[in-house]
Structure 1
Amino acid sequence: MRVLPVLDLTSEQQQRLADLVEQVLTNCPGQTEFRYVSYIRGHLTVRSELGSVAGAFTASGGDAVHVRNLPQFDDVERSKILCMLLGEAIGTAVAYAEYNHSYITDIRPTTLSTEKSSGVELLSMHNDLAWASDNCRPRTLVLVPHIATGDVPKTLLAPARDVLDLLPEETKEVLRQPWFEARSGSALSWGHERVRRMELLIEADGQPPVLRLNFGTFTPAAHLSAEDAERAARAQEELSQAALKVGRQLGIAIQKGESVLIPNDHCMHGRDTIEPGTCERLLLRSYVLPDDVAALHGSSLVQLSS
C-alpha cells in the first residue's frame, strides 16, 4: 500500500525552526496572532529558512505531506507560531472574516464549539469551505498538534486521484456535471443563505484533480429531473464512501512534534472516532492561500463572499 510523502527535518533544521519561534515570541510580547503574522512577514525570510518544507509541498502532486521531527513546546503560543511559520513557508496564512476571525483555529473535543470537528464521532470526509470561490477558498490546511496523548485518532487523508481510482467512469461523469447546489451561510455571519451551482469533480491537464465534499452543503440541484437527481445523489454517496475508504487506508495519527500539510482542493480529509477518556488532543489549524490569491484581498483577513 502506498504511503503519503514524509519530510523528516534534520536536527539542525529543527533547532533553527525553534529559534525562529522564539524570535517571533520575543519580539511580539502582546501575544496576538496578527502581531505574529506581521512580524513573520516583515522580519523573517521564512521561504528560504524553511525551503525544505516548501519544496516537499510543491513536489507532493496533490498529496498531503507528513512533516516530522518538529520542535515541541509546552506553551500553546509557541505552537501557534510554529503553525503560522509552516503556513507562511508555503503561502499566505489567512483568517476569514465571516468564519473564524483567526489565523489559528483550535480543534478539540469540546461542548463550547458548534464546529463539526469539536465532537468525538466520526468526522466525515470533506474539503474545508469547498463551496467558496477560487478567490477565497483555503487551498492548504496546516495541522499541528499541541497536545496528542493516549489513543490519538487518525486524521483521515484521501488524495483525489486515489479516490477516483475507486469510482466507475459513470459516477465520475456525473460528478463532472454542474448538477450540485452548494448551500452556504447558515453557519456564517451572513444575512441569508447563498446557493451556488457547481460540479464536484474538476480535471485540468497537468494539475491534480479537484474533488469537493463538505458535509451536507452539496445537494442535487433543484432543476434536475427526478432521474438525474437520483443519479447525482448516488454519485455523491459513492464519492463519500470511496473517500472514507481511502482516508482510513492513508490516514495518520498525528503526534506532537509533527504536522500535516493538506492541499485542500486535492485531498479530502476527516477524523476517525475518538473514544472518550482514551486520549487528549488539541490540534491547531491554519488556513493558507497562494500568494497571488491572497494579494487580491489587500489583507490577510479574507471575505468568504469575495
Structure 2
Amino acid sequence: MRTMPSLELTLEDQNRLTDLIETVLENCPGQTEFRYLSYVRQQLEVRKELPCIEEAFAASGGDPVHVRHLPQFDDVERSKILCLLLGEAIGTCVAYAEYNHSYITDIRPTTLSSEKSSGTELLSMHNDLAWASDNCRPRTLVLVPHVASGEVPKTLLAPARDVLELLAEDTKDTLRLRHFEARSGSALSWGYERVRRMELLIEEEGKPPVVRLNFGTYTPAVSLGPSERERASQALTELSQAALEIGRQYGISIRKGESVLIPNDHCVHGRDTIQPDRCERLLLRSYVLPDAIAARHGNSMVQLSS
C-alpha cells in the first residue's frame, strides 16, 4: 500500500508560523475570521514566509497532504488563525453565503448542528458541496484539530485514482455518463431544491481524476430507462463501496499539532465512528478556492448559485 504525502515542518518553520499567528491576533484582537483574513491578505506574505506548504500541496498529484509539527494552542482563536493561514498558503479561504456564512466551521459531536459531520456515526465518503459548479465549489479543505484526545476517529481519505483501481471498466463507463442528478438546496437558504444533471467521474489528460459523491445528493436521472437506471444505481453503489474501502486503508487519526490538506475534487473523504465517552474532538475546517477563481467573485463570501 502506498503512503500519502506528508510534510514535517522544521522548528524554524514552526516558529515562523507561530509569529505570524501572534501578529494577526495582536493586530486584530477579538475580531472576526473575515477581519483576520483581511489583515493577512493586506499585511502578511504567507506564501513567501512558508513556501514549503504550497510546494508540498502542488506536488501531491491529487493526494491529501498530512502536515505535522504545527504549533499547538489552548486558545481556539489562535487555532482558527492557524487554519486560515494554512488555507491562504495554498489558495484563498472563502465562506459560502447560502451555507453557513463562516470561514471556519467547527466540527464536533453535537446536537446543536444539523450538519452531518456533527454526529457520532460513520460519516460516509463524500466531496464537500460536490454538486456546486466549477465557479464556486471548494477545491481544497483544510482540517486542523483544536482538541483531539482519547480514541480519535480516523479521517477517511480516498484519492480518486485509488478508488478507480477497484472499479470495473463498465462501472467507470457508466460513471462517466451524465446519468445522475444532483438534488441540492433544500437544506440551504435558497428556499427551494435545484436539480443538476451530472457525471460522477471526469478524467482529463495530465490531471488527477475527479470523483463526485455527496451523501444522498446523487441519484439516477429520472429520465433514464429501467435498464440504464438500474446500471446507474449499481455504479453509484459500487463507487461508494470502493471509496469507503480505500478510505479505511488510508485513513489517519489527525492529532493536535497536525493538519490535513484535502483536494476536494480529487479525494473523497469521510470519518469513522466516534465513541463520545472515549474521545474529545473539535476539528476546524476552512474551504479554499484557487486564487483565480476566488478573484472572479470580487469577495470571499461566495455564492453557491454562481
Q: Say whether 1:195 aligns with 2:206.
A: no
Residue 67 of structure 1 aligns with which residue?
67
Shift of 1:23: 0.3
Quote the Cα distance in structure 1 between the aligned partners of 2:129 and 2:238: 21
Quote the Cα distance in structure 1 between the aligned partners of 2:188 and 2:62: 29
Residue 150 of structure 2 aligns with which residue?
150
Residue 17 of structure 2 aligns with which residue?
17
What TM-score do you get using the length of structure 1 for normalisation?
1.00
Quote the Cα distance in structure 1 between the aligned partners of 2:30 and 2:144: 22
Any conservation in 2 of the 1:31–1:77 contact (CA below 8 Å)?
Answer: no
Shift of 1:3: 1.2
Any conservation in 2 of the 1:69–1:258 contact (CA below 8 Å)?
Answer: yes
Residue 170 of structure 1 aligns with which residue?
170
Runs of 4+ in 1 over 3 A off after TM superposition: none
Quote the Cα distance in structure 2 between the aligned partners of 1:132 and 1:35: 26
- Whichever residue aligns with residue 58 of structure 2, its letter is T
Which aligned pairs between 1:145-294 and structure 2 lie closer than 5 A? 145-294=145-294
1:169-224 residue CA offsets vs partner (Å, 9 max, x unmatched): 00000000000000000110002100000000000000000000000000000110
Task: Using the aligned pairs only, state the percent identity.
Answer: 77
Residue 84 of structure 1 aligns with which residue?
84
Shift of 1:2: 1.1
Q: Say whether 1:93 aligns with 2:130.
A: no
Shift of 1:276: 2.2
Shift of 1:256: 0.1
Residue 110 of structure 2 aligns with which residue?
110
Any conservation in 2 of the 1:130–1:265 contact (CA below 8 Å)?
Answer: yes
Residue 58 of structure 2 aligns with which residue?
58
Aligned residues: 306
What TM-score do you get using the length of structure 2 for normalisation?
1.00
- Whichever residue aligns with residue 151 of structure 1, its letter is E
- Whichever residue aligns with residue 17 of structure 1, its letter is L
Residue 27 of structure 2 aligns with which residue?
27
Quote the Cα distance in structure 2 between the aligned partners of 1:276 and 1:82: 26
Residue 134 of structure 1 aligns with which residue?
134
Quote the Cα distance in structure 1 between the aligned partners of 2:136 and 2:50: 25
RMSD: 0.5
Quote the Cα distance in structure 1 between the aligned partners of 2:119 and 2:239: 23
Any conservation in 2 of the 1:149–1:281 contact (CA below 8 Å)?
Answer: yes
Shift of 1:30: 3.1
1:132-187 residue CA offsets vs partner (Å, 9 max, x unmatched): 00000000000000000000000000000000000000000000000000000011
Quote the Cα distance in structure 2 between the aligned partners of 1:130 and 1:278: 32
Any conservation in 2 of the 1:66–1:260 contact (CA below 8 Å)?
Answer: yes
Quote the Cα distance in structure 1 between the aligned partners of 2:291 and 2:15: 27
- Whichever residue aligns with residue 44 of structure 1, its letter is L
| Paired residue secondary structure (2:277) | coil
